[in-house]
Amino acid sequence: MPQSIEEHVGARIARFRKQRGLLQQGLALRANVSKSLLSKVECGQKPASPALIAACARALGVSTSDLLGQPYAEELRRDRMDALIQPIREGLENWDVALDWETAPRPVALIRADVQRALVQRRQAQYTDMVRDLPSLIDESVQAVHTSTGEEQRQAYECLAGTFRCVFTVAWKFGFIDLATVALDRLAWTAPRADEPGLVAMYSFLRAQTTLSSGRYDVGMRVVDRALRELEGENTRRPAGIEAMRGMLHLRAAVIAGRAKDRDHAEARLAEARAIARQTGELPDFGVTWGPTNVGVHAVAMASEMDEFGLAIELAKDVRIPPGWTRSRAGHHWMDLGRAHAWAGHPEQALDCLQRARRIAPQQTRYHPTVRETVLALKRRERARNGSLTQYAEWVGI
């Protein structure tokens, strides 16, 4: 059944809190947040920031997905995505053992072309097509690893790393955190064997992302800084890509510092990323979207996450998304800006931003918790029935 209009994140926090027999003061102490803020979040007067969600999840002994209501089972079944996830789970069972195939796998060059297409689909938020092909690509890459040598084998490992990167993305975005963790473990094993420092840095970038969910910001920062140290002086086939990964790691550090409420550190890391972006320009590599635009949208997102909605809206005025830019990142930007407008008291602008996100990356938008929380906030505050908002709410499953 679709969730009720009252079941926003704050309501879920209250429900789990009561199940644990805790008063608001007790949870506030355990989560190290103010009772006043917790009270306002539970009744929907204030947004639940990612940092607060992580802190409450940790204090309550649940996952952030539990508090976000993910995965959205009814909508996944309606889109048949649930049926596509299970073959991926089965595909991840093997990553290091040769398969009992009677025929040889395709040449690595052909497998690599399909993996590159999957990575493009990931960046463009075309998840259904990507997910459908991943199980066979995993098997082919595994077999190629065991039936090739030298440079071909290295490229086969690179293909395998690419498939695990794709699995992590779709599992994380749809709320299958257990599957995302398995994919990350597989990537940790595979990336060094691909003999490409950029892929090892990618693993660290994703691992640091998981610490955002658990609220272990100290661990996340150490992971990022270790990866940056390891990149120093590394020989690589793709030096420009290494600069992109260096910039992405600084962006990850900026987000971590922002969640930890260390604004000075967050600003310093943003400045590092901005300086690298000025040198490289727009540079997609290693499956990331890197460049000045991504630094700009991260600054907007960080301000929104820290409930500085006016600042987020001001910063967004300087963001110019270039034609053909990555749809997943562009869609995410409009979600973040929609959240800022909603809580700044601009319902029309908020809905317009959400509609833009839907047009750019519909599947990502439909399943993203930020969108659902923003729609719920708009529904609670509407003074008269808004047909466009009602239609949008039905589309996301509310």
pLDDT at 236: 73
pLDDT at 6: 54
**Residues 365, 331: contact at Cβ < 8 Å?**
yes
Intervals of the chain under pLDDT 70: 1-6
**168-177: b (≥16 Cβ within 10 Å) or e:** bbbbbbbbbb
Residues 6 or more apart whose CB falls under 8 angstroms from that of 323 comprise none
Q: What are phi and psi of 64, to 5 degrees?
A: -65, -30
**Residues 115, 133: contact at Cβ < 8 Å?**
no
Q: What is the pLDDT of residues 233-261, one digit of tens each?
A: 777 777 778 899 999 999 999 999 999 98
Residues 6 or more apart whose CB falls under 8 angstroms from that of 392 comprise 351, 354, 355, 358, 375
**Residues 161, 199: contact at Cβ < 8 Å?**
yes
Residues 6 or more apart whose CB falls under 8 angstroms from that of 188 comprise 203, 207
Total residue count of the chain as it appears in this document: 398
Classify the C-alpha dihedral 299-302-306-312 as positive or negative: positive
pLDDT at 137: 95
- In the numeric block, the tokens 């209501």 are attached to 69
pTM of the model: 0.89
pLDDT at 2: 41
**Residues 258, 302: contact at Cβ < 8 Å?**
yes
Residue 114, token pair as written in the block: 């399909």
Instruction: Map residue 196 onto helix, strand or coil.
Output: coil
Residues 6 or more apart whose CB falls under 8 angstroms from that of 250 comprise 224, 228, 269, 270, 272, 273, 276
